[in-house]
Structure formats: structure tokens, C-alpha cells
Amino acid sequence: MEEVEDIQSFDNDTIDLLSSPNDQNILQDNQESCIIRQDPIIDSAIFKAYESLRKIALDYGLERELAVPRTVIVGDTSSGKSMLVQMFLRFPCAFSHANVGTRCPVKYILRYDPNLNDGEIRFIEPKHWQAKDLSKNLELEMERIEKAYRHEGGFRLEPFTIEIASKHYTDFEILDVPGLVSGDLDPNKRAAVERITEHYVRDLSFMIVQLKEAQQLADNTYGTRRIGELCTSEPAQQGSKFPARKDYAEHTITIQTKFDAFMREHDNGTVANEDIRTRIEFFPNTFFTNMVVSPYKLSDHSYEENIEYIAQLPELEKKEVDNWINRINLKAGGSDSKYQLFNQHYRPLIGIDVVRKQIQELWLRAFRAALPRLQDTINRLIRKHSDEFETALFNLEQQDPRTVRNNYQKYIEAFRTTISDYAAYRAEVNALFPLDEYGRTYEQIENEYNDWNRKQPLTWRAYLSAKQLKQNLNGQILATLDLRYIGARHFERLRQVFSYMILSHEALNRERDWFESSQSLLYGGVSDYENTEKAVRELLFTLIRETFLIGICWLTQMYTFLSDHFANHVKSALLNTKFSHLEEHVKFLSLVDLEYHTVTRKFIRNAVTAIKHARYAKMVYAVHNVCGTLKNLVSSFSNMSMITQNSNDNDNNNDSDNLGNKILQVAQDAIPKLATGINPVAAIATSAITTVTGCKNPLDLIYATGKFLTNDRNPQTVNYLPQTCDKVSELYTAVRGQLLHDITTNFFANLVLEIQQYKSIPIENSLQNRLNRMSDKDIAHMANIEIESSRQKVLSNHESIKQLEQARDAIEDVIALINNKNIDDNLYDMNDDINNIKKRIRATHADTRNKRLRDIEKKLKIRQRHKKKQTNTIQYNNNQHLSFNVINNEKQISIDSNQDEDNSDDETSEFEDEHGLMRYDDKTSSETYLLGIFRKHDQEDLELGFLNGDSLKADVKFVEQRQQQQQKQQEQKSTLMTNMTSNVRMIAENLEQISSLPININSILQQRKDTSSDFVSDDEDDRNSVVEVPSNKTGLFFVHL
């Protein structure tokens, strides 16, 4: 194995050392410090790993994740890039037509093939090309690309690939991009070339080989300066998608070409050493080469002569350089010479063989450094595709309708059980729904409700947002607002919030004209009284409607939202865990969602219907003495408590006396009854009841207290209105409390309890029962069974795993090769054994996967064997033929096979919705269709509780007027503050003026005393002469007499 000394970089101290006048002896002493390690040439195993990784990166779109190091050659058009490529190819390939240039990058893949003869070159791609025609064929290809990409300036970003094999090659790949043009008058051509160069030099996976002419000074080198700008500019000057590459110099080597011209211009060691030193200083990783020794011109010779010349060029170049160094040293050898000897430490940097090796070493070091990262990426991809293989294999197994039906039944059962447990937040599911992830504060619930795609816009006069609930002026704030709840506890907090909104709402006041207008009804003949009962009924009806109408609609929406909120959490948890294989079963999942919506909607509608009737009854039958009845009921509690428990407010002696007196009273009443022969138990029981209820006459609870309105209803004095106002206030408060209780009990009894028992409640014509009655064909249609598609996913992942495992083994081989530089025959034999072991392991894994696939295919084949239906025949890789049912996707599924013809409209609509869902296979369409159904139902449910005259816009005008009034008040307050500020300023100015005047204090005090006396006298006269008409403000409305 040939080794070449590699000098990678020089620091400033070394550069100064090399330019010292007495450097000859110093160089010999410091030779070891300047020589960097020697790396092996590129082994076939390394290039095999590289190609495997590149193939995987391209096949799976992983060029970013698998950033495999590559090499790109850049420079301007005169830097000798084509000649450098020829030195790798070892035969002439450059074309020099005046009007044709390189129009795209050219990727050269060189392969070592020991089976070829000496001098034989075989083209792998393009297959039928030959070495002697390469320059001509490249010229024609560039002409074709120029025409095909004329709209892009005649240039193409994607490379043209040339793959060649020879026994004299080392496995390698290089990319040659078009040369930068400094003097071209066409800015479009210049920009097109720079766009290509920028794309590759900013790509972190490319190691950069930049070329410049050796005789050029750094400041005069357009190509290297422009490459630096294209690498580091922010943003990219030519639109590259890659970020700036500030450290590009660390991944770059510079090849300084046409060294023969440099030699001609330097005839002494002093100047030669200094100019080489300055070039190394500016381009630390730099090397020099002639490429062609003047005056030889390739164009003047035949193809065979040029091949022979290129083969001899390294030796010819070596002689030319050595002769030049000898002449310099001879010139410096005289006793009176003022010149230095040539710095021999520069000699290993010169030569075409040196350049070729250093370019390969640049890539090899980058590849070796990237191996740990590439190995981790490959292992991660193997795990990923292994998981996908298992999933695809499982999905293939699920393509049997019987298995699908069984999984559907399990999912429905799990959904019903889990949502019941979720609502009750049982310990069985609290690990599946951790509080920190699924818990919600009221504000979070409100935000999710506002973002809910089923939210209906509502305007309710009593509504308070979460922020407003926390800003109550009297400091009475619900303590549960910031607690994170899961499950049915949301309903209890919602009850608290709704009750708070209702109880804190101030009903709209009514004037006398409104009240008297509501009395306008003649009935039963002539009467001296106003029809106050009717006015009370109208007012109470109005107040309850204003307070509760839209509030019940909002509460209905919130209960609907929370029910949907529960279902979404449960569905997400199930599909992310043990039912992940059903995630793509859109039709089935949509049917489950629809059934849950249908069932919970019935719960909500039952509650809303009951609340509607309760609201109507309490509003229209208000004249009955509900307040007096409630007072009597409450007062009756105290006597019972005296018997059943001791009062904490009294001392023990009083309690004992009280209890003793009651027992004595029961005994005295029971003794006469026992004497008549009555059963002792019955006698004592009746006596106890009589004693307990003796203080409250049951008739008082039946007939209440009689009239609740005064008989004196003089329409002239209207003296009955204050009492009536108080009564209406009492009635409103009582009915409001009763209705709140009715709302809570109806929603809790009809919805909350039912959701917690969802796993066991009977569902009429449930989806589970209908699934059992469905045919296999209908199940297959619902599940979108596609056996061949599922099988192809299995095979695709199987092939991916094979490639990835092969790449992983190749990387491991390379790592082993690099870690064992001193390779002997025994180690090669051992590596062969290891490779054979790895191949056998890979083959065993592949056979295991194949067997699992064949077992499933066999299972599917057996289950299809007995069905006499239309079949498709699918050719397998192992030449086996399996038959599968053809599912007619246009056929409707008979999911309501036992449906009676006299079903109700709701049931018919439900089945129509299910049939509609069967038309959609994708999640977006299915969700859109369901959303339309749900919104329609939500609108119907909001209006279900309406009475005559109710509307969803009932509170819109009131809220708008209130907002305008609040805005006006705010403006008035702002104006008042402005006026106050102005008045304060004026008062201050007046005080300053007054302070400057002489003031008689005694006269001012006497004047104020006289004025005060006069004012009091006038006030007394006014009060004696004016009869005040009282303005009463009481209850829920104002009365002006």
C-alpha cells in the first residue's frame, strides 16, 4: 500500500520558521513536527459503505439526515479543473469547442475492477460510451442540455453521471461543476454558473476542492474569492436553500495548478520560498501541481499518445520539479550567494500524485468523522422501519373481515367502558388520563368552547366570561374556577357558574306605564279593581324569560360541548394506544362518533324538554302563593329537627328537657289508644306523627295564607303598586331558585348520570348489534380492505430493512477497517468470516419476516377459499397465486338490515346520515359531513326549549344598548375628569390672585352669616308651600305616581 506524506496546515510560527535564512538545519531538526499522520488509501469496503448510504439517502429522501460526505471541484474556467479530472480518469476527457462549455455538474464515479485487463476502461453509465469518445459525447450532451434548459439560462443544477471501471482506479467519486466566469459580458450566464456553485459549496456534506493558478496572487484570484463569498453570504446571493457556511475553509483544500509557470518565474530559493510561504499562509491546506509539463499539448497528439503521456506525467513532473529545485540550490550553493536553498519541506506538497491522494484523503477523513453519526442514523432508521413493518404486517392480518368485525366490537366496548370511567374519573383510567395533561380549568374550558367548530353564536344578557367571573367587585368569587378538573366534575362547576350568572344578574326594571299596560284585560263583568293578578303574571313571565331563555341555550351548548370534549379525549387515548391499527378506519370511527352523538343528544333533549315545561309552568301559574308555601315548608323543618337531632345552639339540659317533653307527650297520647286494643306499634307511630306535626297545620300548606295582593287597587292613587312590587320581587326570587333547581336536576338526571353509566345503558338498534348482522362484504367495504396495498407496504418495509441492515454492516466493516490500520492476511480472513456471519444473520432475519408474511397470506387464502364470489388473482414474488374478494366500493352497506318500514322520522334520518358517511373514505370529508350533521342537530336542540315568542336573538338589542350605555358613561367619566382637572387649575389661579389682595376677615364672616340665615329661611318656606309627590323605587321596576 503506497503512502504519501500529508501536510495539512501550517501555523504562523511554522511559516516564519520555513522562511528563516538558516532554515536548512532547523528544518531537519523540526521535520517530525511538520509531518502529519498517514492515512490509508480508500478501500473498496469504505466506498461500498458510502454507496449504500447514498442510495438509501436518495431512495428515502434522507439526504439531510444521512449527509454522506462527498467531494466537489470548483474554480474559475482557467484554473485547470478538466485537467485535474483527467488525472483521475487517466485518459483525456476535456472538450474545448469555442461555443460549448460545461452546462451542468458532471459526477464521475470511479470503480476498482481487478478483473479488467491492463489499460481496459469499462463504462457502466452511460452504458455504451467508450473512453476515446468521452470528450465528444460530453460535448454533445452539453449542447443538448443547453437547448433543453434554455429557459434557465442554458444550465442545469442536477449532475450528469459518468461511471467508469478500471483495475488502475481507486474507488472514488468526484463532482465537477462548471467553472466560474469572471469576464463574461452575459450576466445571466454568470449568475447561472454561480447558482450551481453556490448550491454545492454551501451543502455541508460536500468537501470543497478549489483550484487556482499557482502564479496568481491571492488578491488577484477571482475564483477563490467568489467561492468564499458564495459560501458565507447571508442571505445566499443566488437563492441557495442552505444556510451560510462560515467554516467552509476547514473543509476545503486548495490546489494551485500550472506550477510549471511558477517555476519559470522563480529562479532562486529566497523568492520561491517566500512566495510559496505566502500562498500557504493565505490557503493553509494547499498543494501544487503542473498537470501538464510544457510544451506538451494534448490537442496536438493522438488519443493513444495522450494516454501514454498521462501515465508518465507523474514521473515527468517529478523530474521537472527536482531539476528546478536543483538549479535553485546550485545557485544558492556558492560561497558568496545571497540566496536561500529551496525549503525541502515544501517538496511533499508538489506533484499530481500528491494532489490525487490529498483529495481522496480529504474525503476519507470527512467520511471517517461522519461514521458514528451515520451509524446512529442507520440504527434509528432500522428501528423505525422495523416498527413500520410490524404495523404493516398487523394491518395485513386485519384485512380479514372476521378479524375486522372482532376489532370493531372490542373498540366499541372499550369506548363505552372508558368514557364511563373517564366521566367518573375512576382509578382504572387515571393513568391513561393524567391530570396534568387532561385536566382543565374553567378558563381553559371556555377557550376550547370558543374555538369549538360547533359553537353557535349566542348573546345572553346575564353572561359572564371567565375573566369577568374573577373580577367581581364584592369579592365573592367562585373558588373552583382555577381548579383543573377531569370528567363529570366539569358539570358541577358548570352548575356553579350558571347559578352565579343567574343569581348575580339584575333583572330589567319596568316603569308604571308598562305595568298598567299589562293589566289591560276586562273579564267577568264590571269591577272596581285593577287586574293586578294579570300584570303580575305578565311581569314574572317576562322577567323569567329574559333571565333564563338564552341562558338555557348557552347551558345546553356547554353540556353538548363537554360531552364532545369527553369523547374526543377518550377516542384520542384509545387510538394512540391499543387501537392504533384502527386509526385509518374512517367510516367505522365516524359511525361510532355518530352513535355517541345520537345517544347523548337524546339525553340532552330529554333534559331541555323537561326544563321547557318547568319554565312554562312556573311562569304562567305564578299567582298561586308560592312564596307563602315555601315559607310554611321551611318553618316546618324545625319541629322535625327537635325530634331527630340535638341542636348545637342550645345546651344539653334544654335539649334533654325538650326531648323528654316530646316523649312524654307521645306516651300520654298513645296510652288511651292502647287501652282500646289498637296495635302498640301503630298507636305509638300515630301519636309521634301527631306530636311532630301538631305545631303546623297541614291545611296551611294546602291553602297557604290566602290573598297575596291587596284588595285596595285604586287606579287614581295607585297605592297598591309598592306592595305589588314587593310581591313580584318575592315571586321572581322564589321561581328563579326553583327553576335553577329544576335545570340542575334535569341535566344531571338525564345526562350526567347517563354518561357515567354509558357502558351499561341499552342502546336501541346499537352499532354493535348491527355489526353482527352485517355481511363480510359490507364489513370489508366499511374497513376499505385493500389486501394488495397492505401487502405492498409489508414488502416495501421488508426491502428497506434489508438495505438498511446491509448499510449498517458496511459501516461496521469500515469502522473495523479504520481501527485496524496494519492489516495482514489473517485479519482479512477473519473479516471474511465476520462478513459471512453477518450475511447469514441478515438472511435469517429476512427468512423470518418472509415466513410471517407467508403465514398471514395463507390464512387469508384459507378464509377466502369457501366463498363463491368474484375474485382477483395476484402474482406473488414466490410464484404463488392467492385469490381475494373484489369489494364493490359503490355498493351501499346494509347497516340497518332489520329496520322496520314504520320507523320514526328521527330513526330514518339517523340511518340516512349513516349511509351518507359510507360515501367517504378520507378523514377530512368524513369529518366535514359529520360536522354538518352535528351543527344541524345543535341548532334544533337550542330551539327545542322555546315557547311561543322565544328567539335566539332575544337579548341582542338589550346587550347592544347596554354596551352603548357603558361606552357613553365611560365617555362622560372621561369628560368629567377633564373638566375637574381644568377646574382645579382655574381654582389654583384664582387662589393666587386672591392671595395677592388685602382681605377683611371680619366683614367676610359677617357676610357669610347673613347669607346663611337667609338661605335657611327660604328653604323652610319652600318646604311648607310645596306638596311632594313621592317617587317609589322598589322591587324590579320603578313606579312613578
CATH of the domain at 301: 3.40.50.300
Please report whether residue 866 resides in a domain. Answer: no
Percent pLDDT > 90 in the chain is 38
Please report whether residue 702 resides in a domain. Answer: no
Q: Phi and psi dihedrals of 106, rounded to 5?
A: -120, 120
Find out whether the peptide bond into 178 is cis, omega within 30 degrees of 0.
no
- Residue 358's alpha-carbon distances to 259, 278, 817, in angstroms, are 17, 20, 20
Mean pLDDT of 975-985: 73
Mean residue pLDDT across the chain: 78
The yes-or-no verdict on residue 592 having pLDDT over 50 is yes
**Does the predicted TM-score (pTM) go above 0.75?**
no
Least confident of 153-162, 193-202, 661-670, 779-788: 661-670
The yes-or-no verdict on residue 67 having pLDDT over 90 is no
Amino acid at 475: G
617 shares its domain with 645: no
530, three cell numbers:
285593577
What per-residue confidence (pLDDT) applies to 697? 64
1010 three-state secondary structure: helix
Contact at 8 Å (CB) between 930 and 593? Answer: yes
134 shares its domain with 80: yes
The yes-or-no verdict on residue 647 having pLDDT over 80 is no
For residue 1025, give every residue at least 6 positions away whose Cβ sits within 8 Å of its Cβ, in sequence order, or none.
none
516 shares its domain with 659: no
Please report whether residue 607 resides in a domain. Answer: yes
Residue-wise pLDDT tens digits, 605-643: 999 999 999 999 888 876 566 776 677 666 666 444 444
pLDDT band at 992 (very low <50, low <70, confident <90, very high): low
Residue-wise pLDDT tens digits, 530-548: 777 788 888 888 999 999 9
465 shares its domain with 613: yes
Residue-wise pLDDT tens digits, 816-853: 777 775 444 444 455 566 667 777 777 787 888 877 77
In whole angstroms, give the CA distance from residue 287 to residue 214. Answer: 9
Domain count, the chain: 4
In whole angstroms, give the CA distance from residue 378 to residue 809. Answer: 10
Q: Return the top range by mean pLDDT from 316-325, 335-344, 841-850.
A: 316-325
In whole angstroms, give the CA distance from residue 339 to residue 335. Answer: 11
Dihedral sign of CA atoms 933, 935, 936, 937 in order: positive
655 shares its domain with 757: no
Its domain, for residue 664, covers: 637-695
463 shares its domain with 431: yes
Residue-wise pLDDT tens digits, 449-460: 999 999 999 999
Chain centroid to Cα 1036, Å, comes to 52
596 shares its domain with 643: no
621 shares its domain with 641: no
654 shares its domain with 597: no
The yes-or-no verdict on residue 757 having pLDDT over 60 is yes
- Comparing CA positions, the residue from 769, 770, 771, 846 lying closest to residue 806 is 846
Please report whether residue 845 resides in a domain. Answer: no
Amino acid at 605: R
For residue 623, give every residue at least 6 positions away whose Cβ sits within 8 Å of its Cβ, in sequence order, or none.
533, 536, 537, 708
What per-residue confidence (pLDDT) applies to 527? 54
Please report whether residue 9 resides in a domain. Answer: no
The yes-or-no verdict on residue 914 having pLDDT over 90 is no
pLDDT band at 675 (very low <50, low <70, confident <90, very high): low
- Residue 580's alpha-carbon distances to 220, 430, 577, in angstroms, are 65, 20, 6
654 shares its domain with 576: no
In whole angstroms, give the CA distance from residue 598 to residue 936. Answer: 12
591 shares its domain with 670: no
Mean pLDDT of 775-801: 83
Please report whether residue 161 resides in a domain. Answer: yes
In whole angstroms, give the CA distance from residue 857 to residue 403. Answer: 14
In whole angstroms, give the CA distance from residue 805 to residue 799. Answer: 10
Laid out side by side, the sheet with 286-288 consists of 122-125, 160-166, 106-112, 172-176, 70-75, 206-213, 252-257, 286-288
- Comparing CA positions, the residue from 24, 28, 19 lying closest to residue 341 is 24
662 shares its domain with 750: no
Please report whether residue 1013 resides in a domain. Answer: no
What per-residue confidence (pLDDT) applies to 336? 76
In whole angstroms, give the CA distance from residue 635 to residue 631. Answer: 6
For residue 352, give every residue at least 6 positions away whose Cβ sits within 8 Å of its Cβ, in sequence order, or none.
87, 289, 290, 291, 313, 314, 317
Least confident of 81-90, 108-117, 793-802, 1004-1013: 1004-1013
Please report whether residue 602 resides in a domain. Answer: yes
